[in-house]
A and B are shown apart, each in its own frame.
Chain A
Amino acid sequence: DIRMTQSPSSLSASVGDRVTITCRASQDISTYLNWYQQKPGKAPKLLIYDVSNLETGVPSRFSGSGSGTEFTLTIGSLQPEDFATYYCQQYDNLLELTFGGGTKVEIK
């Protein structure tokens, strides 16, 4: 299987901060990577697909980049509603989709 590793596993930040989350794949997955946001007790919500394409309605402060094995999700200016857990997910192997372990963004 393709192992997805996120770092950090958690971080503390203040409103207005620029936040960067890293996702590493155990093998080359080209650009077949999505990002989701999950708030406590809620289902995940798609933020970005194929590395850098924002889902409709997602604020432009979210951006994604990368290819191959290393990817980043950046929140340009953290807002109160952005405190959540973020997951990356690969779809290079459509017969065994896998997610990262998550990055919890907490209020400093």
Chain B
Amino acid sequence: QVQLQESGPGRVKPSEALSLTCTVSGGSISSSFWSWIRQPAGERLEWIGRIYPTGSTNFNPSLQSRVAMSLDTSKNQISLTLTSLTAADTAVYYCARDLERRPPKKRSFWYFDLWGRGTLVSVSS
């Protein structure tokens, strides 16, 4: 059974960078796509970006200039880095498996089928 667990600093100062790690157990990160998603308190979910097994990435255009993702296959971890933080980046950050299913004669289905519990990041001085 694949499980995801986010970890990070909890609190970060404005203008600094955030680094989060998602540790995957029960399966290899090399066999799936992975996304980071965040949710400010009381607000909607926001997709941050996706990383493929090759290491290539897609990012939300609204965050693209400040975000990076990487894979560490030796530790089975996915990392997120977000720079130039402001209070608006305060949120619960989730990692999720970004699953693609290919039905016959139809475009692929894509959905988040597994999620970590999330980690709260507060941006304050």
Partner-B contacts on A (CB < 8 A): 1, 32, 34, 36, 42-46, 49-50, 53, 55, 87, 89, 91, 94-102
Contact = CB atoms under 8 A, between A and B. Distances in A.
Q: How large is the interface on B (under 10, 10 to 19, 20 to 34, 35 or more residues)?
A: 20 to 34
Interface in B60-116: 60-62, 94, 96, 101, 107, 109-113, 115-116
Contacts, number: 54
Interface of B: 35, 44-47, 58, 60-62, 94, 96, 101, 107, 109-113, 115-118
Nearest to B109: A50
Contacts of A94: 58, 110
Q: Is the interface of A mostly helix, strand, loop or mixed?
A: loop
- Of A32, A55, A100, most buried by chain B (CB within 10 Å of CB) is A32
Given A43-B94, A43-B117, A44-B115, A95 B58 contact: yes
B45 A91 contact: no
Nearest to A95: B58
A39 to B, nearest CB: 12
B111 A96 contact: no
